[in-house]
Structure formats: structure tokens, C-alpha cells
Amino acid sequence: PGLLLRLEGDLRPGDYLNYEGRAYKIMQLRGRSAKLVGEDGGLLVLPYHLIQAPAIQRSVEKTALSPFSFEVTLEGPNAQQRLEQWLAASPWTAPAYPATVAPLGPDTYRITAYAPDTDIQERQEAYIRQQTDG
């Protein structure tokens, strides 16, 4: 299966795959597997026989991370620092694209983060709102 995928040009380095609900960028096509990197920077070596499974779909729309912003209110000492720590710990923050926190006024902050699609944007925002509510 791997040789057919490579010969037919179905997959190329730089393409994106969805595997088990996560997006991965193809870094290298190898003899029996593809070397992928996840949005979080994690590596995955995926055997070609799994790429034909119905759970995997080619994803060309996730070619780049786009910035998005949202505002949060957080009171207390070191609020900006706490927000930055939560963003750094968030599973939805791509390490290569760190989110930023900018104060807008008393206890109000604008967070600018990066995501490949609206689903990840919503998850990032929900994660931070959960932290600020807790």
C-alpha cells in the first residue's frame, strides 16, 4: 500500500492528514511508513496500511495556522502571568506559535493565539475560559 501511495502521488511531504481526530503534517515518506508531526509538535510514525483506514482523511484545508483573538476578564494578582501560564500548558497551543496576552484595561486581556481551523480555536478559547472560571 505504501508504494502505491507514493507512486500515485496521493501523499506528499507538506500534506496534512487527520488521524484519530488530530491533524498531522507529513514530514517524510519512508519505505513502510510516513513520518508526521502534530499540531503540538509531537512526532508520529504511521504505517501506510493505516492510512487506508476510514478513520484517516486527507486534509488540505489545514495548510497553515491562522491567528485569532478573544478577550477574557481575570481579576487578582499576576492575572496576565497566570493567563500566559495557562496558554503555555494548553493542549491546543502549538509550541512553535506561542499565544500572546495583551492588557486592554483593568482585569481585561486580549489573547492572540494560532490554530489551523475553527474547531481548534473554539477548544483553545474554551480551555482558557474554563481556567478563568475555576
Domains of the chain by start residue, with CATH: 2-58 (2.30.30.60), 66-133 (3.30.70)
How many Å separate Cα 80 from the centre of its chain?
23
What pLDDT score was predicted for residue 58? 54
Percentage of the residues of the chain whose pLDDT score is greater than 70: 81
Residue-wise pLDDT for 19-35, tens only, equals: 777 778 888 888 778 89
What pLDDT score was predicted for residue 1? 45
Higher pLDDT, 61 or 51: 51
* Contact in structure between 79 and 109 (CB atoms under 8 Å): yes
Q: How confident is the model at residue 66 (pLDDT cuts 50, 70, 90)?
A: confident
C-alpha cell at 7: 507512486
If you average pLDDT over every residue of the chain, what do you get?
80
DSSP H/E element including 43: strand 43-47
Count of H-run helices and E-run strands, the chain: 4, 8
Coil, helix or strand at residue 106: coil
Given a cut of 90, whether residue 109 has pLDDT beyond it is yes
Q: Is 27 exposed, middle or buried (0-12, 13-18, 19+ CB in 10 A)?
A: middle
Nearest-angstrom CA–CA distance, 94 and 113: 9
What pLDDT score was predicted for residue 96? 74
Percentage of the residues of the chain whose pLDDT score is greater than 90: 34
What pLDDT score was predicted for residue 4? 47
